[in-house]
Chains A and B, each alone.
Chain A
Amino acid sequence: AQKITQTQPGMFVQEKEAVTLDCTYDTSDPSYGLFWYKQPSSGEMIFLIYQGSYDQQNATEGRYSLNFQKARKSANLVISASQLGDSAMYFCAMREMDSNYQLIWGAGTKLIIKP
């Protein structure tokens, strides 16, 4: 069974609009962390935001915020005021605390921002 599911293979969004990228996860470990990374065409994996399973508030980092709904096991990334430079692949990943810290990855969403 997929541990991380990203249901949107591709998205087109108009510049300056907000965009939500979906991520659902599956774990029985009560302690885990959720990550979002951006991978531009250059290939480097860039860390965006982290949410711990025990965090009481949704994580925010500048224009990025994480809509964490623990009961639904979803951790959607919200990008406000999108910019052309946001065009990239976006990956959701999970680390279960019993898993020797390895990250388990979704298949990614390709986001294209239209001018």
Chain B
Amino acid sequence: GAGVSQTPSNKVTEKGKYVELRCDPISGHTALYWYRQSLGQGPEFLIYFQGTGAADDSGLPNDRFFAVRPEGSVSTLKIQRTERGDSAVYLCASSSGQVTDTQYFGPGTRLTVL
């Protein structure tokens, strides 16, 4: 079956602009995660959804970042007033939501803020 998909694959924007990054999880997966990966580092957790609700948003760096998952499937990560420091690869993962299950990742969106 289809894996996790993310669009766009690349996004270049100017400082101060608003961006939306989309994640389409594996069908039937109730859990969805967003991570951010800066160059040369491991991913950092941003937010976790179980169904439609954000079960843990403790990793969001500030209030410019927001994510939604209105129907419990597709999720959108929204970044307002982008800054150059937001440049990174944004990874989305999904899982079946069980305690011991594995997170499967999408190809990521590379965000560049000029």
Interface set of A (CB-CB < 8 Å, partner B): 4, 33, 35, 37, 42-47, 50, 52, 91, 93, 97, 100-108
Cα distance A103–B59 in the bound complex, in angstroms: 11
Q: B26 in the interface, Cβ–Cβ < 8 Å?
A: no
Contact with A along B28-61 (1 / 0, CB 8 A): 0001010100001111110010000001100100
Consensus secondary structure, chain B interface: strand
Task: State which of B35, B42, B55, B99 has its C-beta within 8 Å of the C-beta of A97.
Answer: B99
Report chain B residues within 8 Å CB of A47.
102-105
Number of B residues, CB within 8 Å of A: 27
Interface set of B (CB-CB < 8 Å, partner A): 31, 33, 35, 40-45, 48, 55-56, 59, 89, 91, 93, 95, 99-100, 102-108, 110
Cα distance A18–B24 in the bound complex, in angstroms: 37
Contact A44 B45 (CB under 8 A): no
Contact B48 A102 (CB under 8 A): yes
